Chains A and B, each alone.
Chain A
Amino acid sequence: MSVIQCEDLSKSFGKIKAIDHLSLEIEENKITGLIGRNGAGKTTLLKMIAGYLKPTSGELKVFSKEPFNSLGVSANTMFVDDTLAFSDSMTLVDILSNVAPFYVNWNSSLASGLFDYYSFNPNQPHSNLSKGSKSTFNSILGIASRCPLTIFDEPTTGMDSAVRKDFYRALLKDYLEYPRTIILSSHLLSELEEILEDILLINHGTKHLHLSVMELKDLAVGIRGNAQAMQSFVAGKEIIYQEDFAQGSVYVVIRRKLVQEQFEQIRQRGLEVLPVSTDDLCVYLTATTKGGIDDVFKRS
């Protein structure tokens, strides 16, 4: 069963199209990573799913209902981002105990366990927390609420590396114990990919890829070697990314299926086959130029 279905979904802010004819489905009880460059429309998409924003056109269904302004969807959805605000009249402990009654599956022992683990001061107001601590605290709310659909929009903003690892681990452990649909948007795919099952890559408001992490890892290969040998080999093939090095050496990223049976040939030409990290691949796939930032400097 798919929890989120969207068909030809668009959202504009004035003349700017944030989401442009996007169609996708997200299945139940999967952890999906929403990846995209800055301004790709990640947050807009997530806010529409959470029911904050109203689609301009197209169809969006969450739990088979239209999410906008829907109490039923809100009751089953948790949206955590770094703009969550709380009154200064409440201490951190107050927040946990006062938010809990809204969420039926709330796990208070988990919440207090995580709260103690991160050694928060129970009597502090939320606004006094540092950026990273706010994100950490918000992540506790996200995990402990155990909502059938849990959305984290850039959950690790400001967290240090140790806390980020703890967060990923806590999320995964609780997911295994209590499976639910989780969407994580983040720039740090290299850290995330261990806990993700699917990756949804969006670019300029449209879906670029929706694959499992395994498929994405196998999508492309990098080839490095002499520029001339490379040129004759890649001629006529679609190049995802190209980077020139010193001494006539060149690095090219190419779809694996294009070179599937030619690995022997590649080696004979003195070229080297390298795996491409998913993180880099996503950057290459969404780049506007084939040569990256280097192109800017070549021109001048």
Chain B
Amino acid sequence: MSLNEVSLLSISLKQYYYKLKAYSNLFNWLIMAQIIALLFSLGGVGGTGAYNDELSVSVTHYSANIVVIFSFAWIWFIAIQLTTKQYKNMETILVTNRITENLSSIGYLLTACVFGGITSSLGGVLLRVIMYFTSDRSEMVFDGFSLAQSDLFLGMVVGILYMVLISAISYLLGVIARINMVLGTIIIALIIGLFRVYTNLAQLIPKFIAFEVSLPLFALKVIIISILLFGVSILLSNRREVSQ
């Protein structure tokens, strides 16, 4: 009997397609999370008011930020999910090794980030459309209402990049927790502890990433950090046994 030769890349790609199909339910959760977030947003995110004897003014702010935050929470959640025993067990039927499993999972996560980033940005557009048709237009302040295409695009790209970063962190934590639950907890505790003691350090990280004003530089930073985090995940899980 002749043996079948396979390449790492072709198997990873096959697994990626398999996971897109098999884990499609995770995308339903995103849509649900975004709908719920949108419902919250309809009530407005904040308001101010002023009045004197003759006049009273109340202003309600609307924002789709909650949609974005919920999408971030979603990508955090699914990245952890992919490293759990339940999901690892679904890979055993396939032609596989640890590297292809990781590569296909990362591919799946990146797809999820793109999908999540685009839909959460469009959530802002949808909120505007709903508000336009449901509220009294004479009372609306249209300042910042119409969204420039470039802003929408920027929002999408930044959203995607943040989601990539979040998924890389969460995936690594999931991998560490799989190796040793206690170790995972200790590492998280250590990081939080360090940030509390060295507040400079805690400010440095958001400064390094969040306060970056140039999109290409921001993208570069996020991509490099994510590659490093995913790389560590692959290294850590590469020689792990398949436990069922």
Does residue B11 face the partner (Cβ distance < 8 Å to A)?
A: yes
Does residue A180 face the partner (Cβ distance < 8 Å to B)?
A: yes
B90 touches A89 (CB 8 A): no
Q: What is the distance, in angstroms, from A297's C-beta to the closest C-beta of chain B? A: 38
Given A105-B4, A148-B1, decide whether A75 and B95 contact each other with a Cβ distance below 8 A: yes
| Chain B count of residues within 8 A CB distance of the other chain | 32
Q: What is the distance, in angstroms, from A164's C-beta to the closest C-beta of chain B? A: 22
Does residue A83 face the partner (Cβ distance < 8 Å to B)?
A: yes
Given A72-B5, A83-B89, decide whether A102 and B21 contact each other with a Cβ distance below 8 A: no
Interchain CB contact (< 8 A) of A75 among B11, B25, B244:
B11
Given A71-B97, A180-B1, decide whether A86 and B14 contact each other with a Cβ distance below 8 A: no
Q: What is the distance, in angstroms, from B86's C-beta to the closest C-beta of chain A? A: 7
Interchain CB contact (< 8 A) of B241 among A54, A70, A89, A181:
A54
Of chain B, the residue at the smallest CB distance from A146 is: B1
Given A29-B1, A52-B242, A54-B239, decide whether A84 and B92 contact each other with a Cβ distance below 8 A: yes
Give every chain A residue within 8 A of B3 (Cβ-Cβ): 63, 72, 75-76, 148
CA distance A68 to B242 in the complex (A): 10
Does residue B187 face the partner (Cβ distance < 8 Å to A)?
A: no
Q: What is the distance, in angstroms, from A182's C-beta to the closest C-beta of chain B? A: 12
Does residue B24 face the partner (Cβ distance < 8 Å to A)?
A: yes
- Chain A interface helix/strand/loop/mixed: loop
| Chain A count of residues within 8 A CB distance of the other chain | 39
CA distance A79 to B242 in the complex (A): 13
A75 touches B21 (CB 8 A): no
Interchain CB contact (< 8 A) of A74 among B25, B97, B241:
B97
1/0 per residue, CB under 8 A from B, across A84-124: the answer is: 11111110001000110111110000000000000000000
Does residue A18 face the partner (Cβ distance < 8 Å to B)?
A: no
Of chain A, the residue at the smallest CB distance from B12 is: A71
CA distance A52 to B17 in the complex (A): 23
CA distance A102 to B95 in the complex (A): 6
Q: What is the distance, in angstroms, from A10's C-beta to the closest C-beta of chain B? A: 15
CA distance A53 to B244 in the complex (A): 11
Does residue A256 face the partner (Cβ distance < 8 Å to B)?
A: no
Given A94-B21, A180-B1, decide whether A102 and B86 contact each other with a Cβ distance below 8 A: no
Q: What is the distance, in angstroms, from B17's C-beta to the closest C-beta of chain A? A: 8
Does residue B94 face the partner (Cβ distance < 8 Å to A)?
A: yes
Of chain A, the residue at the smallest CB distance from B4 is: A104
Pick from A52, A83, A89, A180 the residue with the most CB of B within 10 Å.
A89
The 4 closest A-B pairs by CB, nearest first: A52-B242, A87-B22, A85-B89, A75-B6
Chain A positions near chain B (C-beta within 8 angstroms): 28-29, 47, 51-54, 63, 68-72, 74-76, 79, 81, 83-90, 94, 98-99, 101-105, 141, 148, 179-181
Chain B positions near chain A (C-beta within 8 angstroms): 1, 3-6, 8, 11, 14, 17-18, 21-25, 86, 89-90, 92-100, 238-239, 241-242, 244
7 additional A-B residue pairs with CB within 8 Å, beyond A71-B11, A71-B99, A85-B89:
A52-B244, A69-B238, A70-B97, A75-B4, A85-B86, A87-B22, A90-B21
